[in-house]
C-alpha cells in the first residue's frame, strides 16, 4: 500500500480518477470509487459559471457522501475571479481544490484557460497563489508537459506551482499540441518528481495494470491518475491494486478481467444511476457513449454502438443489455 498525503488529506492508496468533462459525473465517480479509486475528481467547473450562478454548474459540484475524498476542479484565467469563486465555494463538501491548467480543448485554450496558461507562467503563478490563499482546502494543479514540443516547461511550471501554494501536482506527459495523440512522455514526469518536494501524480497512457507498474517504476511518482483508461473500465482500479500486490510479493501477475455478464450488469446499474441523477432523457443520452466504451473489444461491438446511439429510455437500454447477453451465447 502506498499512501498519498495531499495537504491535510491522506488517501488510503495512490490511485486517482482524473477529471474528464462529460465523463466523471457523480454516477461514474461512485462506480470508480467502488472499484478502488482512492480520490475522485469532478468534471471541470468554470469559475465564470459559478459567478453567473449557472444552473448546469451547480449539478457539476454535487458530491455524494460515499465519494470522499473528492476533489473539485476549477478552471479560469482571471486570478481575482478564481480566488473569489474559490472563497465562495469553500464551504461546500469537497476535500481538495484543483486548478485545471492542462485542458487542450480549443474553446478553453482560446479563452486563455486550461493548457493556455502554460504559455503565461506568470499569470498561472498569480492564479495559484491567490486561489491557495483564498481556499481552506489543499490545492492541486493539473498541467501538461508544455504547450508545444518547442516550449516544454513542465519542470519550471511544477517548481512555480509549489512555490505559490500547490500541495500536489498532476502532470500529463503530453504537450497541448499533441492533444491525446502519440505517446505520453513519462520521462518528463520523472524530471518533475526530482525537481519538487510536493507529491507528483503521473497522468497519461495508463490503460492496464502493466502500464501502472511501468509508470510508477519509471517516474518514481507518488500517485497515478487514471482517465481515458477507465472509460468503460472502472475495474482498472481493482486490477491495478491486485497487480501491484502480486508484483510487490514477487508473484506472477494474474489479473481477473470481468465477465461479459458483469460488464452488462455494470451498464444496467450505471444506467439506473444516470436516470436517478439526471432524469431518463438526459441520463440515457449520456449512457450512449458509456455503452460504446463498456463493450469495446467484445463481439458485435460496432453493432452495439450503432444501436446504443438511438437509446432514449431505460427500457431500451435493458433490451440492448439482454440482446448483448443473448448474442454472446449464440
Q: Count how many residues are written for the chain.
A: 330
Cβ(124)–Cβ(117) below 8 Å: yes
Q: Which of 14, 32, 103, 215 is catalytic?
A: 103
Instruction: List CB contacts of 23: < 8 A, sequence separation 6 or more.
Output: 43, 231
Kindly state the cell numbers that stand for 9.
488529506
Estimate the crossing angle of helix 314-329 against helix 301-308, to 10 degrees: 170
In three state form, how does the secondary structure of the chain look? CCCEEECCEEECCCEEECCCCCCCCHHHHHHHHHCCCCEEEEEEEEHHHHHCCCHHHHHHCCCCHHHCCEEEEEECCCHHHHHHHHHHCCCCCCCEEEEEECCCCHHHHCCCCHHHHHHCHHHHHHHHHHHHHHCCCCEEEEEEEECCHHHECHHHHHHHHHHCCCCEEEEEEEECCCCCCCCCCHHHHHHHHHHCCCCEEEECCCCCHHHHHHHHHHHCCCEEEECHHHCCCCCHHHHHHHHHHHHHCCCCCCCCCCCHHHHHHHHHHHHHHHHHHHCHHHHHHHHHHHHHHHHCCCCCHHHHHHHHCCCCCHHHHHHHHHHHHHHHHC
User: Dihedral of CA 95/98/103/108: which sign?
Assistant: positive
Cell of 65: 457522501
**Spatial separation of the C-alpha atoms in residues 206 and 212, rounded to whole Å:** 6
Q: Is 14 a catalytic residue?
A: no
Positions annotated as catalytic residues are 103
Amino acid at each position: 500500500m502506498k499512501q498519498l498525503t495531499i495537504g491535510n488529506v491522506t488517501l488510503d492508496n495512490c490511485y486517482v480518477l482524473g477529471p474528464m468533462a462529460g465523463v466523471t459525473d457523480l454516477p461514474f465517480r461512485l462506480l470508480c470509487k467502488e472499484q478502488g479509486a482512492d480520490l475522485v475528481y469532478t468534471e471541470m467547473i468554470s469559475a465564470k459559471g459559478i459567478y453567473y450562478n449557472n444552473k448546469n454548474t451547480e449539478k457539476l459540484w454535487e458530491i455524494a457522501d460515499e465519494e470522499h475524498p473528492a476533489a473539485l476542479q476549477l478552471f479560469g484565467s482571471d486570478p481575482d475571479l478564481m480566488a473569489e469563486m474559490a472563497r465562495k465555494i469553500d464551504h461546500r463538501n469537497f476535500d481538495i481544490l484543483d486548478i485545471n491548467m492542462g485542458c487542450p480543448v480549443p474553446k478553453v485554450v482560446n479563452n486563455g484557460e486550461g493548457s493556455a496558461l502554460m504559455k503565461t507562467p506568470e499569470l498561472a503563478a498569480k492564479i495559484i497563489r491567490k486561489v491557495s490563499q483564498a481556499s481552506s482546502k489543499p490545492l492541486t494543479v493539473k498541467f501538461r508537459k508544455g504547450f508545444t514540443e518547442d516550449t516544454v516547461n513542465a519542470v519550471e511550471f511544477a517548481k512555480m506551482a509549489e512555490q505559490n501554494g500547490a500541495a500536489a501536482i498532476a502532470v500529463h506527459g503530453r504537450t497541448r499540441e499533441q492533444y491525446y495523440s502519440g505517446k505520453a512522455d513519462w520521462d518528463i514526469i520523472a524530471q518533475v518528481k526530482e525537481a519538487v518536494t510536493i507529491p507528483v501524480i503521473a497522468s497519461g497512457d495508463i490503460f492496464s495494470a502493466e502500464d501502472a507498474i511501468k509508470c510508477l517504476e519509471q517516474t518514481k511518482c507518488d500517485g497515478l491518475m487514471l482517465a481515458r483508461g477507465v472509460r468503460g473500465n472502472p475495474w482498472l482500479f481493482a486490477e491495478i491494486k491486485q497487480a501491484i500486490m502480486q508484483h510487490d510479493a514477487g508473484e506472477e501477475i494474474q489479473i481477473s478481467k470481468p465477465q461479459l455478464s458483469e460488464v452488462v450488469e455494470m451498464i444496467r446499474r450505471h444506467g439506473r444511476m444516470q436516470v436517478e441523477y439526471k432524469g431518463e432523457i438526459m441520463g440515457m443520452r449520456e449512457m450512449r457513449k458509456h455503452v460504446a466504451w463498456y463493450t469495446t473489444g467484445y463481439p458485435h461491438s460496432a453493432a452495439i454502438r450503432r444501436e446504443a446511439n438511438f437509446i432514449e429510455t431505460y427500457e431500451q437500454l435493458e433490451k440492448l443489455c439482454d440482446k448483448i447477453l443473448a448474442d454472446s451465447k449464440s
